[in-house]
Structure 1
Amino acid sequence: MKFKFRNYIYPAILCAAVLAGCSDNLDVQPYDGLTIDQTTGTPEGLKAATIGNYNYIKDPYYTRNFHMLVEYPSDNVALSGTTTDPLFYAYNYQHLTAMSITGNFFRKAYQAIYGTNVVIEKLQEGQSAELDQVLGENYFLRAMVHFDLVNIFGRPYAQDGGASPGVMIRNNTDINDLPPRSTVKEVYEFVIGDLEKAASLMGSTKSSSFASKEVAQALLSRVYLYMENNEKAIEYADLVINSGRYTLLPTADLPNYFTYANETNRETIFAIKHTLQDDRTWGSLGSLYLNDGMGYGEMYASESYRNLIDKFEEDKRRAFIVPVYEKNADGSIKKGADGKPVLAARNGYQKYYITKYSYQEGVVTLSSPVYLRLAEMYLNRAEANAKLGNDEAALEDVNLIRRRAGLSGEALFSASNMMGYTSVLDVVLDERRLELAWEAQRKYDVFRNKRTMVRNYPGTHLPSGSNVQEIPYTHPRVVYFIPEQEIILNPKLEQNP
């Protein structure tokens, strides 16, 4: 990729002063007018560059596009109308080789990787615990971005042992080095190496807005789970769970989970910090899910997800879905002939807003997208145990999550109460869906487990006159095309079928 990376790194460094409010005691000064060698030639400059690297993954070209590419193809969402936004092509599996959300994500991801490589090349290990922490954070960010890239553009590891084409591995700042795509397996191995290095360098003192030892371990649990190295997935989940750093939010607080700032939520392991000055308003993730004085409110909770969550009325996770009702002239809710409230609709699709990306600190469109949290670690362990035949241990973790959601008695699973399920793995995968809905995990959970994405419910993903859309895990559009422009810039890149 022959971008002028130096042109992109300046804004990251210069924004450090602006971002200092979300740093943990980093005394960041402005570096206006200095060359990149000067700004990264001192410990303070390397800290500033690291804050700039976090800013890359906070950029909407990264965070917003990542969410659209991963969550919108899932069975948790239903779009209520056509749109000129290219999100529509992600939602309905009609991908293009020149699709702006993939192109912008790809480029922003490699800008972030370049930024981490600048710090990794310039910062010598072992100078101090503080600088080792900075170095470790860059190893983590480099791993995370490679992992996101390979899962978007490469087929799930478990389908063929990682033999299919992945993405470019970039571990240096040589802009003339244009490598071909490594295999998915090679990228995963690179990610694991970086995460292990990150965990060895970092301590546990950072808030969830930054990488720490446990953040790296949590991502290692996910990576190994996706590889179906179940023992390792359990090992790293255990390290995070037993670290004592995190606790599940109490049941009463669960409906408010995503309204809390990172620093006040002890369940969050890593989230991409947004403050009020970062509020994207109409361009925020939450704006498509909800309209409350601001927002489009066009993407709703799917009928199939609602049917699953509505099995138990006491499930506190139902609070993340808000049904919208028609109003009378006086503002009261309109009732039908049967006396029940009349659901509002858009283009004939009933409105069920989603609130997981809204109301942080009371602001309608403010959100700090959660990337890793403790509930996932229990569910990683549950899935891995289910695949190892440890059914009792798997159900124990599932029930822990269900109890936290307010469920008890017959709503809990046991060998004698499987509630119609024929396998513990099916139980775990549905619990992951219930707990992690709209957090950009469902698509991966379906396809890496060689399942079919079943979207037989109302929404504009269905062709006219059809009520069925089922995407098998073998479908070519499980992954996205490599952006056409990137292949022009680097002819070594092989296009996906």
Structure 2
Amino acid sequence: MKLTLRKYIIPALVSAGMLSGCSEDLEVKPYDGMTIDQTTSTPEGLKAATIGNYSYLKDSYYVRNFHMLTEYAGDNVALSGTTTDPLFYAYNYQHLTSMSITTNFFRKAYQAIYGTNVVIENLKEGQSAELDQILGENYFLRAMVHFDLVNIFGRPYAQDQGASLGIMIRDNTDINDLPARSTVKQVYEFVLKDLEKAAALMGSSKNSSFASKEVAYALLSRVYLYMEQNEQAIEYADKVINSGRYNLLGTADLPKYFSLANEGNKETIFAIKHTIQDDRGWGSLGSMYLSDGMGYGEMYASASYRNLIDRFPEDRRREFIVPVYLKNADGSIQTGSDGKPLLASRNGYAKYFITKYSYQEGVVTLSSPVYLRLAEMYLNRAEAHAKLGNTEAALADVNLIRQRAGLTGDALFSASNMMGYASVLDIVLDERRLELAWEAHRKYDVFRNKRTMYRNYPGTHLLSGQTTQEIPYTHPRVVFFIPEEEIILNPKLVQNP
């Protein structure tokens, strides 16, 4: 990074378009519309730089790679074929030190951090409410990116109270200062401090494409939950829930949740905004999950997830899964000798498309990935209550989410109706799985709770003849290798085991 960081950074600092698209190539051509001195010396320039910092998040090197590194390692997905794309190594836990998706994510993340540091260093606090808002947004973005990095390259905090190595903390723009890896605990403490600062500075109720006080509170709830500081996780979830800014989308609208533009979705707290100009077509997140005139449609809902959601056929969340049936020449669905529809398959794997990253504003491959939403706040609170022994409070939040999904009566939990679960925490974790599937939570929910990832279902994560894949939370590949190119550039970085 020492040799190339400035070349990577400056273009986005002067991006003045409203969350405009970023280049897919790290070798971005210099922008000649505004000098770096102009960008950092005027409020207008720093506002433009902040828009550039948001743009880093939607760059495919960030958002697409983040999704593949987190979601593909979970038990809600089943890949239907092998591929030379390095996503395959994230999916099957056969990581390499030279994986382009980790290298590109690492670099793009630190570019974003550098961009926030430019604004933080050059924008004096207290000039106006508007500029304090801008400053707070950059503190939030810096915290969010550090948090994403440490969860990908550092072990879950709860496993050893953050004692293991995390990632570099970057709180300045000195490109000659290449630090060693801080511990996970140190990174979490840095993230908490930045989020608290962000919340104190921000007063504007911007839409969910931007940070606000409540967005910082929501991420604070998640961070504290991951640290198992449960009282604080509840406190910040309550701040969001009681703010009055958000409401759960209604039951009838739930299946359409992710096709709605995020600004008009009353449940979304923060999303990485994509407009039609940002649609990446075949390179979109949704293209792996669905094929509808465009898209590969190679990553399906796992049998494990389908078995869980199918326990209650009236659950409206089942509608995010679309079974694909064989068709006759006239377009009618083929049926077997038993009269049941025949499922289509790829390489012998039944096709169950996933629609959470498709059809925004009617465009097949357009999506604004949701990073924080109100349902998570209720489930954060439920998990924290479960760990504190507050059974009724935990089940009340779980049932609220289940009722929104269309479930009633005996499909709701109580202390006398545990439906075969051994503990309230087990109930909460399964509800998180049902509600937050394919939203980059599941891997973390399993491993931070010191559980095993069971992937005992069909998919190309299994070698020929295998029927099971079980990843214990102690497995070294719970985290990814630090990119070897970065270790060459910064010898202070120590590789993960």
* Gap change, CA 1:127 and 1:375, over 3 Å in 2: same
* Gap change, CA 1:323 and 1:20, over 3 Å in 2: closer
Q: Kindly provide the amino acid, as one letter, of the partner of residue 319 in structure 2.
A: A
Matches within 5 A, 1:26-425: 32-425=32-425
Deviation of the 1:9 alpha carbon: 2.9
Structure 1: distance between partners of 2:77 and 2:215: 28
Structure 2: unaligned runs, 5 residues or longer: 22-29
8 A contact 1:188–1:223 mirrored in 2: yes
8 A contact 1:13–1:31 mirrored in 2: no
Deviation of the 1:8 alpha carbon: 2.5
With the length of structure 2 as denominator, give the TM-score of the two structures.
0.97
Corresponding residue of 2:473:
473
Structure 2: distance between partners of 1:3 and 1:87: 28
Structure 1: distance between partners of 2:20 and 2:405: 36
Structure 2: distance between partners of 1:283 and 1:31: 25
Structure 1: distance between partners of 2:483 and 2:432: 31
RMSD between aligned residues:
1.2
Question: What per-residue deviation string (whole Å, max 9, x for no partner) do you get for residues 212-246 of structure 1?
Answer: 00000000000000000000000000000000000
Structure 2: distance between partners of 1:237 and 1:34: 41
8 A contact 1:31–1:39 mirrored in 2: no
Structure 1: unaligned runs, 5 residues or longer: 22-29
Structure 2: distance between partners of 1:395 and 1:205: 31
Structure 1: distance between partners of 2:33 and 2:146: 31
Structure 2: distance between partners of 1:284 and 1:326: 26
Q: Kindly provide the amino acid, as one letter, of the partner of residue 132 in structure 1.
A: D
Structure 1: distance between partners of 2:32 and 2:466: 58
Question: What per-residue deviation string (whole Å, max 9, x for no partner) do you get for residues 366-387 of structure 1?
Answer: 0000000000000000000000
Deviation of the 1:10 alpha carbon: 3.1
Structure 2: distance between partners of 1:453 and 1:143: 28
8 A contact 1:139–1:195 mirrored in 2: yes
Structure 2: distance between partners of 1:418 and 1:269: 31
Structure 2: distance between partners of 1:76 and 1:204: 37
Structure 2: distance between partners of 1:287 and 1:407: 31
Whether 2:481 is the aligned partner of 1:486: answer no
Q: How many residue pairs end up in the alignment?
A: 489
Deviation of the 1:329 alpha carbon: 1.0
8 A contact 1:109–1:145 mirrored in 2: yes
Q: Kindly provide the amino acid, as one letter, of the partner of residue 207 in structure 2.
A: S
Q: Kindly provide the amino acid, as one letter, of the partner of residue 374 in structure 2.
A: L
Deviation of the 1:16 alpha carbon: 1.9
Structure 1: distance between partners of 2:383 and 2:89: 31
8 A contact 2:20–2:278 mirrored in 1: no
- SS in structure 2 of the partner of residue 328 of structure 1: coil
- SS in structure 2 of the partner of residue 17 of structure 1: coil
Structure 2: distance between partners of 1:371 and 1:205: 17
Corresponding residue of 1:495:
495
8 A contact 2:133–2:204 mirrored in 1: no
Structure 1: distance between partners of 2:459 and 2:3: 39
Structure 2: distance between partners of 1:31 and 1:86: 31
Question: What per-residue deviation string (whole Å, max 9, x for no partner) do you get for residues 293-346 of structure 1?
Answer: 000000000000000000001000000000000011111100111100000000
Q: Kindly provide the amino acid, as one letter, of the partner of residue 400 in structure 1.
A: L
Question: What per-residue deviation string (whole Å, max 9, x for no partner) do you get for residues 384-427 of structure 1?
Answer: 00000001100000000000000000000001100000100000
Corresponding residue of 1:26:
none
With the length of structure 1 as denominator, give the TM-score of the two structures.
0.97
8 A contact 1:290–1:298 mirrored in 2: yes
Question: What per-residue deviation string (whole Å, max 9, x for no partner) do you get for residues 33-59 of structure 1?
Answer: 432121121000000000000000110
